[in-house]
Amino acid sequence: MNGFFATDSMSDFEHSYTIEQTAQLLGISPQKLRRWDEQGVLTALRTEGGHRRYPKELVDRLVQANAGALSDMASLELASVKRSLDEKRRIIQLLIESEGRYRDLVETSHDLIWQTDAEGRFTYLNAAAYDIFGLAPSDLIGRCFFSFEANGSHVPNRRFLSTLRRHGEVQNHVTHLTTARGEDRWIGINARVTRDDNGGMLGIRGTARDVTQQHLAIRRAEHVAMHDALTDLPNRHALQHQIESALQISQVGGLLLVDMDHFKRINAVFGHGAAEQLVVGLAGVLRSVARNRNGELYRIGEDQFLLHLPEALRDDAQNAASAVLDAVQNYRLELAHNRVVSNLTASIGIAMYPFHGADWLSLLAAVDSATHQAKDDGRNRVAMFNPASDALRSTHRRTHWTRLIADALELDEISLSMQPAVQIRNGAVLHHEIFLRIRNEHGRWADSAQFMATAESLGFAPALDQRVVSRVLTHMHEHGSGWRQPCAVNVSAASIADPNWIRELADMIRSSEVAGERLVFEISERAAMENIDATAAFISQVRNLGARAALDDFGTGFSSFYYLRHFEVDYLKISGAFTQTLDDDQESRAFVRAVNGLARDLKRQVIAKGVESALQLQLLREAGALYAQGRYFQPVTALGAVEPLQVSTGTDNGTGN
């Protein structure tokens, strides 16, 4: 619509409406009329004073002609405004609800949610603050995390702040706090820096969680792994860590290996329970000696303790060894029924580092060699490791095998061989005994008899045993039904006495998909008698897995006859020393007959080892033997290389294979 220029004549005023009148007639607001004027939709004339006037004729015509349309336009606009307001109200309500949910989550969270200023002082904490600090959030405003830091946490906490400022974020930092109630807490913290537009630090915000239970559980697990279960002394693993740390910083010191004399006799006379009491009592006495000498005591074997003297010199070590001998000799253990264990002695070997060994294995071999020298010299004495002594060759041999064993484990370079135990009647295979070999210094495979004593004395035996079991399970699984016969694996005294090793063994068997019935675990009579209770428990555990057990080299220690009823073994394997003297030793024949008779009464099976001739086989038949093993049937061969030979039912005087 076109506008027009107005004058201030009375006639013009009579024929025009004010903006208020026009708005009322058209049913719209004055503001809308002003917008229409600016947009040229309905242009107003202006008075000299600048007031808007609208021609009556035009307005009246618009009222008549367009009243409905204007009303519709106004209605549409009003509806649009209403929708806009409703949408705004809905968005505001959603924001309010979202903020409410956020506040509920924050305030009811078990995790601490916090915020600080640039100086690290709390400006906000949720309700979880009370559980962590022992104070209400309002009482913590203006304080900081490290107002509660426990002793020893200062350095890692400052390192945490430095990392946070440098990188802007830190996750999973664990700090040790002491609450307002005096309680220890370990807190896991996640934090992030907030910055202004110029990169300046405004503050820190993040979360925190009480991880005390998890932290203590990890510490307990670490403690169990590094401590002896009976005495709670640190064990061989802890000692190795300590010595390696000392050698890395070129520290000097001494090791005293204390080996109790005739400990197995105490076991046999007083029983295993008394022997354990003795070990605990001696641990307390020797711990006092170690403390007075600024040393630390370790238990590294059934009857062996090791005293570590950091920064000690030769004279210090000699004096400490004399104090240990006196403490052992003066110790008395009173048992029930007025029985007393006294007059104890020990043999002590000393090695000084780094002079007698610049690494853990060399040092351990040196102190072990010195202890053997003390025993060879008559026991109840001290021997300092001497590279120029007659024991040098023996020490070098042990050190040599120590390195070869360590290399074999690290490189997984071991070989398994086998020999069948068979039924004498028809040559059917009962099971295959598995033998371990590692490479010697010339690269040829060496039998376990050459190195197993060293492996046991230096703590390698459990790792070797585990590696053999793993290889055997893998072999049986890969060959499936093509490998029908069970395999018999030798296990050491250290393995059967280690609950962790036994648990790992059970896990390996369960996860291998190899039936337990296809395994036999052989324990030498010597190992069984070292720890009767542990042996009986181990046999029970493997039988629960479906496996069978054998007592190997039976007869080499006649004390085992007394305990045989306590060992629920399936097989007794007679030492080859008896088999090979059957043809000219009446006592050997009598022994074999006695063992077979005893085995039938106890429902055990007897396997005679070391059969090398048809004559020996015939004599075994006559003694009642049902099973045998030896080169006469098949020599030791690589695992899975050949099937066993059938055994003739006749006899001759040949020597066999």
Q: Which residue has the higher pLDDT, 41 or 511?
A: 511
Question: Whose CA is closest to 596, among 568, 630, 619, 567?
Answer: 619
Confidence of residue 457 (pLDDT cuts 50, 70, 90): confident
Per-residue burial over 242-268, b if 16 or more Cβ lie within 10 Å, else e, is bbeebbeeeeebbbbbbbbbebbebbb
Which stretch of 200-204, 263-267, 500-504 has the lowest confidence by average pLDDT?
Answer: 263-267
Backbone dihedral angles phi then psi of residue 609, each to the nearest 5 degrees: -90, 165
Q: Does residue 180 have a pLDDT over 80? A: yes
Q: Which residue has the higher pLDDT, 27 or 239?
A: 239
Q: Which residue has the higher pLDDT, 80 or 21?
A: 21
Each residue of 364-397: pLDDT tens digit? 989 988 998 898 888 899 999 987 665 555 666 7
Task: Tell me what the mean pLDDT of segment 257-273 comes to.
Answer: 81
571 CB-near residues (< 8 Å, 6+ apart): 520, 548, 549, 550, 551, 604, 605, 606, 607, 627
Question: Whose CA is closest to 589, among 614, 608, 565, 604?
Answer: 608
Count of H helices and E strands in the chain? 24, 25
Query: Would you call 419 helix, strand, or coil by DSSP?
Result: strand
The separation between CA 107 and the C-alpha centre of its own chain, rounded to angstroms, equals: 36
Task: Tell me what the mean pLDDT of segment 108-126 comes to.
Answer: 86
Cβ atoms 570, 550 nearer than 8 A = yes
What is the per-residue pLDDT for 7? 43
Q: Which residue has the higher pLDDT, 165 or 432?
A: 432
Q: Round the average pLDDT of the chain to a whole number and report it.
A: 83
Q: Does residue 513 have a pLDDT over 90? A: no
Question: Whose CA is closest to 357, among 387, 394, 327, 333?
Answer: 387
Each residue of 349-373: pLDDT tens digit? 999 999 999 899 889 989 988 998 8
Q: How far apart are CA 145 and CA 122, in angstroms?
A: 8
What is the per-residue pLDDT for 9? 52
In the block, residue with structure tokens 């969680």: 209
pTM of the model: 0.49
Confidence of residue 651 (pLDDT cuts 50, 70, 90): very low
Q: Does residue 6 have a pLDDT over 50? A: no
Confidence of residue 268 (pLDDT cuts 50, 70, 90): low
Each residue of 24-79: pLDDT tens digit? 888 788 888 888 888 777 788 888 777 888 888 888 877 776 655 555 655 666 66
Q: How far apart are CA 559 and CA 568, in angstroms?
A: 16
What is the per-residue pLDDT for 653? 37
Cβ atoms 33, 23 nearer than 8 A = yes
Q: Does residue 580 have a pLDDT over 70? A: yes
Task: Tell me what the mean pLDDT of segment 401-420 comes to.
Answer: 90
Q: Does residue 444 have a pLDDT over 60? A: yes
Dihedral angle sign, alpha carbons of residues 98, 103, 109, 115: positive
Q: Does residue 101 have a pLDDT over 90? A: no
Specify the amino acid at residue 485.
Q
Cβ atoms 62, 70 nearer than 8 A = yes
What is the per-residue pLDDT for 10? 53
The separation between CA 618 and the C-alpha centre of its own chain, rounded to angstroms, equals: 54
What the block records as the tokens of 230 is 């009976």
245 CB-near residues (< 8 Å, 6+ apart): none
Query: What is the number of other CB atoms lying within 10 angstroms of the CB of residue 364?
Result: 26
What is the per-residue pLDDT for 71? 57
